[in-house]
Amino acid sequence: MRYTSIPNTLFIKNRSNYKKKLTPNTITVLVSNDVKHTNADGTMGFAQNSDLLYLSGIDQEETILVLYPDAYKEENKEILFIKETSEHIKIWDGEKLTKQEASQISGIARVEWIQDFEKILQYMAFEADGFYLGHNEHLKRSTWNQETQQDRMIAWCKKKYPLHQYFRVAQLTRDLRPVKSIEEINLIKKAATISIEGFKRVLKAAKPNMHEYELEAELSYCFTKAGANGHAFSPIVASGKNACSLHYNTNHNLCQNGAMVLLDFGVCYGNYNSDTTRCFPVNGKFSKRQKDVYSSVLYCLKKGSELLKPGISHTTYEKNMASLIEIELIKLGLLNAEDVENQDPNKPLYKKYFMHGTAHYIGLDVHDVGLYSRVFKPGMVLTCEPGIYIEEEGIGCRLENDYLITENGHENLTQDMPIEIEDIERLMNH
């Protein structure tokens, strides 16, 4: 692996916290994600099931984690099943984890080969009253129309053990994962540090008539050289009117002289992510209108992020951010104050220029799991990302930082990423 080894004490602690939430006499079974295929013999690579990673640290395909805290035999309380290697696999794909390595990474003493899973589980299953199984319960999940390894495990388990009770792993991990430990915070900080250097590299490289993908390449070089897993998500490098498409990421257009570029990107380091957005004029000098729009968004970022502190609800925060944007849109001449005063509260006028939420959890997933009905607590890491999008003017501006909620407020993990107009122009012109 590229990143510095993570102490297995993190995963031991995560499992301990998880077990405290389990219904008595139940078995947890978590499976790894599938390797996704493209065409012929190509694959898209592998991304681990985040809950399995959170509880074991194992970042390898064909892995199963079994936890049975109330098992009669001590050896059955934690079992990790991994893929057995062979000479053929070594020659074609390289080394896989040994049992000893998997035990060291996870802190789990008993490691078995995955082909023995069904036999070993059966020795324990009829002692237990129920199973906890994993599934993707993210509000915006993208796997609803695909069969996954988790779906197959659910179907197999219910067929094999139909009279057991069944419970949801995700219900427990979505409560645990939003509050980060010091080890997790340090990994997110490392990802943020790499992203800061990547943005500075982009500013120094940017010039009119470059392709958007050339700027993306500067990020990719920086991330790989720093030992990151890679991009946290497909980066958005959107110049001019492209910035008004929120998830634009083809990144194939020319950055025309006079255009402002919106750069939404993140770094994945040790499987933990950063997520930041910056805007800059490709020629190194903001126009008057770009500067005005940018200044409004920056003001909203600074004022809105003040509510990222313990005890504040997500709803209160988002309402405050919407009000800030609304006022700035009036100042920019995009909305009429009288029209805003008389608007239908169910169809606010600001939605034409600002159509998304501005705070999401971040961690093992870029849009990390967690309920937004919870108030902010120390240890949570959230983004703050206000924006204004003026399609008719070809200007889209979003600014985004990552914030750690602390006992007394927050810490801006991306404080050192240039954001002031003067700093950006200075870096681009020297």
pLDDT digits (tens, 9 = 90+) for 203-216: 999 999 999 999 99
Pick from 246, 370, 387: which is nearest to 314 by CA? 370
Q: What is the pLDDT of residue 93?
A: 81
Average pLDDT, integer, range 274-278: 98
Query: pLDDT, tens digit, for every residue of 218-270?
Result: 999 999 999 999 999 999 999 999 999 999 999 999 999 999 999 999 999 99
Question: What percentage of the chain carries pLDDT values higher than 70?
Answer: 99
Q: Among residues 281, 283, 282, 276, which one has the least CA distance to residue 301? A: 276
What pLDDT is recorded for position 8?
A: 97
pLDDT in tens, 391-405: 999 999 999 999 999
Q: Which of 84-93, 102-111, 326-335 has the lowest mean pLDDT?
A: 84-93
3-state SS assignment for residue 71: coil
Per-residue burial over 263-272, b if 16 or more Cβ lie within 10 Å, else e, is: bbbbbbbbbb
Query: For residue 41, what pLDDT is reported?
Result: 79
Residue 143 has pLDDT above 70, yes or no: no
pLDDT of 45 above 90: no
> Hey, is 391 helix, strand or coil?
helix
pLDDT at 81: 98
SS3 123: helix
Q: What is the pLDDT of residue 44?
A: 81
Q: Rounded to whole angstroms, how far apart are CA atoms 396 and 341? A: 25
Q: Please state, in angstroms and as integers, the Cα–Cα distance from residue 272 to each residue in 77, 82, 143, 147, 187, following that order.
A: 28, 22, 21, 26, 6
* 9-176 is classed CATH 1.20.1600.10: no
CATH superfamily of the domain spanning 182-428: Creatinase/methionine aminopeptidase superfamily (3.90.230.10)
Residue 90 pLDDT more than 90?
no
Question: Are 151 and 115 contacting, i.e. CB atoms less than 8 angstroms apart?
Answer: no
Helix H segments across 206-266? 212-225
Q: Domain map of the chain by residue range?
A: 9-176, 182-428
DSSP state of 372: T
